[in-house]
Amino acid sequence: MTHYGQIYIDGAWVDPSTDATRAVIDPTTEAAFASVGQAGVADVDRAVAAARRAFVGFSQTSVADRVALIDSIIAAYKARAAEFADVIAREVGVPVSFAAQVNGPVGHMEVARDLLKSYAFESRMGDTIIRREPIGVCALISPWNWPIQTSVIKLIYAIAGGCTSILKPSDASPLSAILLAKVLHEAGVPAGVFNLIIGRGRVVGEAMAAHPGVDMVSFTGSTGAGVKVGEAAARSIKRTCLELGGKSANVVLPDADLEKAARWNIQRCFMNTGQSCHAPSRMIVHEDQVEAVLPFLADEAARFVIGDPRDPATTMGPAVSEGQFATVQRYIQSGIDQGARLVCGGLGRPEGFERGYFLRPTVFADVRPDMAIATEEIFGPVLAVIPYRTEDEAVQIANDSIFGLGGYVFGTDRARGYRVASQIAAGRVCFNGAATNSLTPMGGYKQSGIGRSMGVFGLEEYLEVKSVYGFAPEAAGLPEHV
């Protein structure tokens, strides 16, 4: 078993201030295959100090220099893509066949780089210059379900904006973060511009969020954890960007292609073993069409190839941990206990699996909107099919949630589809399975979060706005672009 005992601060690998360690469990075998050291509050202080020192110079770098740095990061990342795929398969259970987990970050880095080339950091309103300036030191706290992509989106926009950062990965995915730190070191990221802290959220995560030397916190994770981060950050009145839980609805209008809607819903809901905050885990179907759609759902669920995530043939790996496996089992049991009809899947491991946190792709029908499986985020391959009578009722069911991260609409009439999409209270709504765009903002309504990531909106989370008065357009000595 390999031990990774160090953290990355001020451009160097250093020993943490504590002797504590934590095992990394392979969810396929349920056995520990590595261990990591655990940082403490003193290490957060060291990382923040390093980031503050680095910010003085890095905040003044030119756009051209930051573009060149991002290019170097992209090249170093691509050289280790196969390593990333292997690491996240072992520590999280993501199949190597799920290429988006590894290739997606490259696209996000390229979008940030290209946006940086054209973004107007200075503009004019009459005799006033409006400046966008880097906000400062950023605490980045990322989840395990998209361990590389989420971390990359946060840090690359921080770099693009001229900020310095400290990254804390999830306890379940520290090894991919260590590999990411190696990439940044190899790419020549200046000392202190990026720092890596590994440790428990309630210790180092809270210390990062509360630290007076941190200017901004970007957190992705559960709504419960996001509340704690927000409370800690509020003590020093710092900006927070929170992407939290979801219980997204897919409203299937009566004129929709039912088979297309059903097969797409299963694939999008169950990808990554259902461990996605945007998963359409509620499928809202007209009451006269429920029985017609169920065979398509069951057939598509049966098409997943469940197995070792390092096998290229596998399309569904295990849940990330024993705790997550148990959580999904409890929700399946609650669905049965509350009277929902089990269409496929159910309790226990799939046939032929005696170990590993593998789950059975599960679909429930006859789900009432007040059932736990319809209201709470399960984070597993479990779909609740909810009937509706009228369009207004469908929208009401979709919006009857504390969450508002994603939404989906299927239908043939585009005008009607847009009308429904416009009424769904969510940060992202896709029509007929349309792909999302990395240039566009991602974030949530209600308890799904605060702020936005990606594209211009994501970049501006890392920027402050300053008005500078008294400079008429003809004033001498100003940069030409002002």
The H helix count followed by the E strand count for the chain is 15, 23
Closest CA to 376 of 342, 328, 415: 328
- For residue 65, the tally of other CB atoms under 10 A from its CB is 12
Catalytic residue positions, numbered: 243, 277
Q: Which DSSP state fits 307?
A: S
CB within 8 A of 155, min separation 6: which ones? Answer: 140, 165, 167, 184, 194
Other CB atoms within a 10 A radius of the CB of residue 82 amount to: 11
Name the one residue in this structure whose structure tokens are 């469990």.
25
Cα separation of 342 and 297, whole Å? 12
In 244-338, beta strands by DSSP E: 249-252, 282-286
Strands 249-252 vs 282-286: parallel, antiparallel or unpaired: parallel
CA 421 to chain centre: 22
* φ and ψ at residue 201, rounded to 5 degrees: -60, -40
CB under 8 Å to 223, separation ≥6 — which residues?
244, 245, 377, 402, 403, 447, 448
CA distance 90 to 482: 51
Helix axes 63-79, 174-186, angle to 10 degrees: 120
